[in-house]
Amino acid sequence: MKQLLSFLALLVLLTLSDAGEAQQAQDFGDYVVHYNALNTNFIPPQVAQGYGIHRSSSRALLNITVLKKVMDNPGTPVKASVAASGTNLTGQRREIDIREITDPEGAIYYIGEFPVHNQETYNFTVEVQPKGETDPLIVKFRQQFYTE
């Protein structure tokens, strides 16, 4: 439980941080998809171990959350089918395996790890299909990684 709280605290900090475009979001009407990507060496060792995340400056973590808007609330976490890929600037495409993390408090995160090289830029495409919806939500963004 303590590891989960540490992981959630890290994600909240990333959500509030604007350094290096750490957290971004896209509004789709009834849903908001939050997304970020960061080197896994920024994740505390005990948290990484608890979630089976390989810490390294040459590995990155893609994090996706899906919120359904409810009145004036910022949103309620919802389950979704999430698929992601990234293409670097030389055209190499990488499918990113995504797994779901659900905490007892109700938060739902979708994470995936992948290797990166110093100053490598990825163009990401993330397809999110909230449970019960027929049309996927498509998020596209670009991120550069630094390993040194």
Q: What confidence tens digit (pLDDT) does each residue in 6-62 have?
A: 454 455 444 434 334 445 999 999 999 999 999 999 999 998 998 899 999 999 999
pTM for the structure as a whole: 0.83
Cα separation, 146 vs 102, whole angstroms: 29
Q: Which two tokens stand for residue 147?
A: 């390993």
- Residue 69 pLDDT more than 50? yes
For the chain, how many structural domains are there in total? 1
Q: Which two tokens stand for residue 111?
A: 């994470």
Mean pLDDT of 55-76: 91
Structural domain harbouring 23: 2-145
CATH number at residue 113: 2.60.40.3340
* Terminal CA-CA length for the chain: 32
Contact 141/119 with Cβ under 8 angstroms?
A: no
